[in-house]
Amino acid sequence: MNYSPKFETKNTNKIDFETGQILNFYKPVGKSSFYIVKVVRAVTGVKKVGHAGTLDPFAEGVLLVCTGKATKQMSQLMDLRKEYVGVIRLGEIRDTDDITGQIISTHDVPELLPDRVRMVAKSFIGESEQIPPMYSARRVNGQRLYKLARKGVVVERKPRSIHIDEFDVLKIDLPFITIRVVCSKGTYIRVIARDFGNLLGCGAYLHSLSRTKIGEYSVNDALRIENFKQWIESN
């Protein structure tokens, strides 16, 4: 992947990370969002570094990282529309609603006509209320929900308004269904996967997920963290 990051500079010899940069990174599967932030902080020497929207370790794709004064723009970046491509696995229900969880139950997957699958997908389009899952980084009373969930504690969560702009079925290869979703901030794709399976009567979980776009920032233009380190070291 060839990508030449465009940086603001005070002069032609030094990148000004302190004044602020918005960096489009590809976060790989198995790494946390904070890992990318930590590496950027270590390599640039700038203490003020943050990301505009968490990606779970099992997910991959676009992660926007801001440095210096650009961190003031993080809330605006979080408001941008997101595009995801995910794979739903029908017939299994997991406690986390994704591939990292324990299987709670299994169900037979019925023969599904493509038209029915696409009709279910269309039912998600528009505004709706979504309750954040227990296995999420959201805080309730100052505590991360996933930490409570690991202790077996379930707390009440207030529903949040979300908006699905587009919901396409890209591939049906039962028990797997590949989807593309364009949505507002605060949308949990694994909750959509769970609800998708419930509507089809067999349960489901999110098998894999890639965030392909945030606004105009595309995964096709994203910078790999290992290339970033090499680029900084060479300069």
Q: Dihedrals φ, ψ of 41, to 5°?
A: -60, -45
Report the DSSP beta bridge partners of residue 14.
11
Within a domain: 1: no
Residues 59 and 89 in one domain: no
Residues 94 and 60 in one domain: no
Q: Dihedrals φ, ψ of 8, to 5°?
A: -80, 140
Which domain CATH number covers 106? 3.30.2350.10
Q: Are 214 and 138 in contact (CB under 8 A)?
A: no
What's the pLDDT at 148?
73
Residues 223 and 147 in one domain: no
What's the pLDDT at 235?
61
Spatial neighbors of 137 by CB under 8 A, at least 6 apart, are 54, 144, 145, 146
Residues 125 and 189 in one domain: yes
Within a domain: 2: no
Number of domains present in the structure of the chain: 2
**How many CA atoms lie less than 13 Å away from 19 in the CB half-sphere?**
8
What are the DSSP E strand ranges found in 68-174? Answer: 82-90, 92-94, 103-106, 126-130, 139-140, 143-144, 160-173
Nearest CA among 4, 61, 41 for reference residue 181:
61
pTM of the model: 0.88
Nearest CA among 217, 159, 162 for reference residue 184:
162
Catalytic residue flag (residue 56) = yes
What's the pLDDT at 227?
87
User: Which is catalytic among the residues 16, 56, 79, 165?
Assistant: 56
- pLDDT tens digits in sequence order for the chain, 235 residues long: 333 444 444 433 457 888 889 999 999 999 999 999 999 999 889 999 999 999 999 999 999 999 999 999 999 999 999 999 999 999 999 999 999 999 999 999 999 999 999 999 999 999 999 987 767 677 777 777 677 767 777 777 788 899 999 999 999 999 999 999 999 999 999 999 999 999 999 999 999 999 999 999 999 999 999 888 786 766 6
Residues 100 and 203 in one domain: yes
Q: Are 221 and 32 in contact (CB under 8 A)?
A: no
Residues 61 and 97 in one domain: no
Q: Are 209 and 63 in contact (CB under 8 A)?
A: no
Residues 129 and 205 in one domain: yes
What's the pLDDT at 143?
75
- Find tokens 């105009």 and name the residue: 216
What's the pLDDT at 134?
67
114-122 helix and 189-199 helix, angle to the nearest 10 degrees: 130
For 62, the domain range is 9-79+216-234
Residues 124 and 197 in one domain: yes
